[in-house]
Structure 1
Amino acid sequence: MEKFQLDEFSVAILPPATAYHPVDGRKYTLIMSTDETSSHLAIGYKYEVALLHSENKSMLKAEWKPRLGEYILSGKIHPGIEQSGDSNRSHHIQPEVAKAVSMIVKADKDLYSHVPWLLYAPIYIETESNIHKYKAIQFFGIPKQYLTL
């Protein structure tokens, strides 16, 4: 398993995946603590089940998928703190999702040197919630945007 540490952010590439393979079905499991003290990302052929059972954490699962002749990065985020009736909560979710997407893109930057067309692939993230008004699928740009920030 290839690991590296970026501040409070750890990344593990789970074999048989490598920094360059696979592209189809490459899966990301990102767990961010709600107090933002630590984050863990697993990259591989499947979602990292051990990370999926974390409590009080935001979780993003994402995957590269071919769609209509191009690739998309498609994912679902489960916010760590369930939304109440607070209308301001939706404003807090957007930056959390953007930060999570940025972490995934930056951690996997070696993939883009090997497969450069992914730099221009659209990113779509679905927010999951028990409250219907917070459920949404949103466009979060392209990987190139996150690498130039």
Structure 2
Amino acid sequence: MPELPEVETIRAFLDERVRGKTITAVEIGLPRLIKNTTADRFAAALTGQTLEGVERRGKYLFVRCRGPWSFLVHLRMTGSLLYEEKPGQYAGRAIHLIFTLSEGRLLYRDIRTLGCLWLVPSEGATGVKGYDNLGPDAISPDFTTDRLYDLLKGCRRPVK
């Protein structure tokens, strides 16, 4: 499973490459990976959207678009998001979603198909239970020892 630092590395890599590009087509090979809508609605809502960037919160990647819809990805154990400059660069099995961009392609690859994708509003609450109620980010500059102390000072449970 990608751990938090790996997810942040993926975010930074993708953000640099996809920012400002437009999704021209979405191909979904495994519709069950889309958790909160149909594959057709997911593809229709995102086609034509310009990518503003990739954000991370916990182990979720939020691919933010300029329009009303964006998408959220959780890689789970074996998922990965890849940027492909030339089609065929990552040819092979386990590519389940292809976002064709104005330049290049964004691919979702997952060997064990445990990952999840959600169509979410670009602004406000996402409606994704595990995402909307996440606590403070462990690698955020705002998460200091003083902040941790404040969070734990009233707690009587053992720290493991």
Pair member with larger Rg: 2
TM-score with structure 1 length normalisation?
A: 0.26
**TM-score when normalising by structure 2:** 0.25
Q: Which structure has more helix as a fraction of its residues?
A: 1
Give the structure, 1 or 2, with the largest relative contact order (CA under 8 Å, sep 6 or more): 2
